[in-house]
Structure 1
Amino acid sequence: MSTQQPAPPRRKRPAKPQFTQTTLLLEAFLVGFATLVAFGLRVAPPATVWTLGGVTCVVLVLLSGYMGRPGGYVAGTLAQLAVLGFGVLVPMMYGIGAVFVVLWIVALRLGGRIDRERAEWDAAHPEGPAPA
């Protein structure tokens, strides 16, 4: 009869990049729908609307992959300004963009706090979780 050691628990993904990635991806969907609204309202020439909306969507999706890397959070913060800028075309975007700015700040602060607390717990319990 062989006795196998249980596999060590997998390390959890950091919360801060996970929260900020989710926020940016949701924002990409939001910008896509705002682009459709701007196109339907004919607030600008169609080429302008689709170019601004499409580029912003692609940038948000690409930035979500850079969270956790140097400069990623700064770039994500600047992207929040771009989303707020859509309020020029669709005024409702000022309000919706403001909601996403608040979500961005919460993702940064809460994700950072969760990661710090996990690191403190790991430092206090080097042997890992209790066996089942």
Structure 2
Amino acid sequence: MGSRSRRVGEAAAEPKVGVGVVVVKGETVLMGRRRSSIGASTFAVPGGHLEFGESFEECAAREVKEETGLDIEKIEFLTATNTVFSDEPRPAHYVTIFIRAVLANPQQEAQNLEPEKCDGWAWYSWNDLPKPLFRPLETLVESGFNPFK
């Protein structure tokens, strides 16, 4: 091991891969307030853990459907962030793959299908996002990234 070896008893010794989906509608993105243990009370885009053998695009479509009931299309890779949550109750390290997509049917309405994990979904202007942001998304925003360019 290198100089950053694991500490005994450390909760999350291995990095995990998350997929965040920037669902765009006009000039807005879909976001909800997290209720999960990591990033509780922060705003995030739909997403979740990459499953074994799954492509980023498959994960994006599955997670958006599970969380919001929405069907998405034009699914494309945007970028990735690398975040260590050392100040959380259960420290964790996530590589987050950001994907952009649009609604398969623009008339669809987002539903809150996992109320134990999210307070609900709403559309926000990229230039006026709610605060505080989930750390991987905050890193993306602070880098100057714009999903509309």
Q: TM-score, normalised by structure 1?
A: 0.25
Q: TM-score, normalised by structure 2?
A: 0.23
| Larger fraction in helix | 1
